[in-house]
Amino acid sequence: MINKKDITDRFISYVTIDTESDPDSNTTPSTKKQWDLANKLVEELKAIGLDDVTIDVNSYIMATLPSNVNHDVPTIGFISHFDTSPDFTAANVKPQIIDNYDGEDIILNTEDNIILSPDYFEDLLLYKGQTLITTDGTTLLGADDKAGICEIVSAIEYLINHPEIKHGKIRIGFTPDEEIGRGAHKFDVEKFGADWAYTVDGSQVGELEYENFNAAGAKVKVNGKIVHPGYAKGKMVNSMYYATEFINALPKDETPELTEGYEGFFHLYAIEGKVEETKLQYIIRDHDKGKFEARKALMQKLADDMNEKYGRTVIELEIKNQYYNMKEKVLPLMHIVDISEEAMKQLNIKPLIKPIRGGTDGSQLSYMGLPCPNIFAGGHNFHGPYEYVPVESMIKATQVICKIAEITAEKYLNYNYEKSKHS
């Protein structure tokens, strides 16, 4: 049985270390403070008894739990990231523990009147009677993805302390900078040496995902001209008006807040504007590869049409692909999804198999030769002050990791036996 206090204490020890990543940095990790948790994790992995604990110059952590069976079992991996999103501050996280949640509003911060309410966040009602860990309303929590790290470390420690649970060789990996799209960029798949892996980076209990968005980022530079407003007639070009025209020309109902499931979107997430120059930053997302390419083409056509309309370069557009849908790489190996689904069922957890409306390290790793579905870590409302995680969900994720390892060993014992009978 996973100890509730131990997993709570471990999680809090992680989230109180600031590991916010920085998209404007060119280093890996993108912030020096990520090393604070990375070095702590290395020492912790050594202390619980793992082999081959390494951390490279870019703070990628790897370690090994050796097999405790005599037959051949594929090497599997579990991966999470230790950085937190730059969307909201992760400095001075002060977690609050809500025991035996009663289903009512949770006052996160009295001074600023910040309330976590089931009237708005209906998922809260799934956890009545459970223990919730929340923010104090002034920071994010960091369950994305320190919950995943906590669950992997706790599961591996449990397997070490319970050798009666049979498993093959297990590799674990912790990465920086996932939140800025770089978590897998310098991950050494060959060194990791797993046949497949699972990222533990999903949300509510039961989530199991092997499809994700195709993703691109777009930077739009809108050019204007500044002159004194008193002498502006026929001379001033206000870039902010042209930026507004560009924004309004994109489909208004294809934004994150108006789409769900397999529906893609254009997401304008940053604007910086003056008369002379306005900068827009978008992310482009779609599960379907053809629709993804069409979205990028639409943006380019809009830029070209506006430049032609005004007879000069009003719009400069730069689009860069970020990652692709892992489904293409996982479908030929669906047994790795089946194993995780069976693990949940054996633990009386209903699998929630659905597409990720985002991406994980696993989407990039799958294209780097490491097929990598995603399983739940238990948190909700990531990247903001309303983030929370039920402790019971973290315990269930820990149990699923252990069960995946156990089922994999059992599956390949039977496989080898059947193969020997017919050889």
pLDDT on residue 1: 77
Structural domain range at position 198: 4-211+325-418
CATH number of the structural domain spanning residue 238? 3.30.70.360
Q: What is the rounded CA–CA span in Å between residue 189 and residue 172?
A: 12
Q: Is 361 a catalytic residue?
A: no
* Beta strands, E only, 22-105: 51-55, 61-65, 76-81, 96-98
The answer to whether residue 423 is domain-embedded is no
Number of separate domains in the chain? 2
Give the SS3 label for residue 14.
Answer: helix
CB contact at 8 A, 140 and 90: yes
Residue 195 sits in the same domain as residue 273? no
CB contact at 8 A, 325 and 287: yes
Which candidate in 136, 145, 177, 178 is catalytic? 178
The answer to whether residue 96 is domain-embedded is yes
CB contact at 8 A, 82 and 41: yes
Residues of the chain with pLDDT under 50: 417-423
Q: Tell me the pairing of strands 132-134 and 76-81.
A: unpaired
Residue 91 sits in the same domain as residue 185? yes
Amino acid at 273: G
pLDDT on residue 263: 96
Which one of 323, 347, 381 terminates a domain? 323
Among residues 328, 258, 255, 321, the alpha carbon closest in space to that of 288 is found at 328
pLDDT on residue 128: 98
CATH number of the structural domain spanning residue 101? 3.40.630.10
Give the SS3 label for residue 322.
Answer: strand
Which one of 266, 296, 323 terminates a domain? 323
Residue 300 sits in the same domain as residue 359? no
Which one of 323, 354, 370 terminates a domain? 323
Which candidate in 20, 22, 83, 286 is catalytic? 83
pLDDT on residue 359: 76
Q: Is 177 a catalytic residue?
A: no
Residue 110 sits in the same domain as residue 203? yes
Helix axes 143-161, 4-15, angle to 10 degrees: 140
